[in-house]
Chain A
Amino acid sequence: DIQMTQSPSTVSASVGDRVTFTCRASQSINSWLAWYQQKPGKAPKLLIYLASSLESGVPSRFSGSGSGTEFTLTISSLQPDDFATYYCQQYHTHSTFGQGTKLEIK
């Protein structure tokens, strides 16, 4: 099975900061990677698919990059609505999620 590892597990940041999350796959998944945002009590929301394609309606401050085993999600300028937990997901072989990175207010 393909394992997905996200780092860090928690990030503390302020409104306006640039934040980057990392996701590593245990083997190459090409670009078969998605990123989701989840707020407490809510279903996950798709942000990025195919590693770098922005889902319709998602603000352009979100961007994704990477291929193979190393991927990043960047928020260029944090907004108050962005404080949430972020998950990566590989869909190269079945599907596996990372354990999540919680973005907290500093």
Chain B
Amino acid sequence: EVQLVESGGGLVQPGGSLRLSCIASGFTFSNYWMYWVRQAPGKGLVWVSRINTDGSSIEYADFVKGRFTISRDNAKNTLYLQMNSLRAEDTALYYCARGDPSGASYFDYWGQGTLVTVSS
């Protein structure tokens, strides 16, 4: 059974940092592109970042460029999102999601999300 389990969320002050993790199981993690998608309370879904199978190709949404860093450790079946210079508008539930092995960016499996709250 495919599972994605996020962790690392919490309450942080503006300007602070958090590192999110997503542990994958039930599939060959190293074969899949992986993504972070967020959802602010009561709002819609927003793509944040993606990483290819070996980490050599990475993309970010404009609103996180220079502040967030996506990475993966295929030996540990884990996806990460390092979040720096956090702003109030980054408050959201952060999901990790599995893409397609070919790189097509639709998401067939999602974690349950980890909540990030940026507030003083």
By a beta-carbon cutoff of 8 Å, the part of chain A in contact with chain B is: 1, 32, 34, 36, 38, 42-46, 49-50, 55, 87, 89, 91, 94-100
Contact = CB atoms under 8 A, between A and B. Distances in A.
A49 B108 CA distance: 9
B106 A99 contact: no
Contacts of A1: 62
A97 B107 contact: no
Most buried by A among B106, B111, B112: B106
B75 interface: no
Given A55-B108, A91-B106, A43 B113 contact: yes
Interface residues of B, number: 19
A96 B44 contact: no
Interface of B: 35, 44-47, 50, 59, 61-62, 95, 104-108, 110-113
B47 A43 contact: no
Nearest to B62: A1
A5 to B, nearest CB: 12
A96 B61 CA distance: 10
A45 B109 CA distance: 7
B105 to A, nearest CB: 4
Nearest to A90: B105
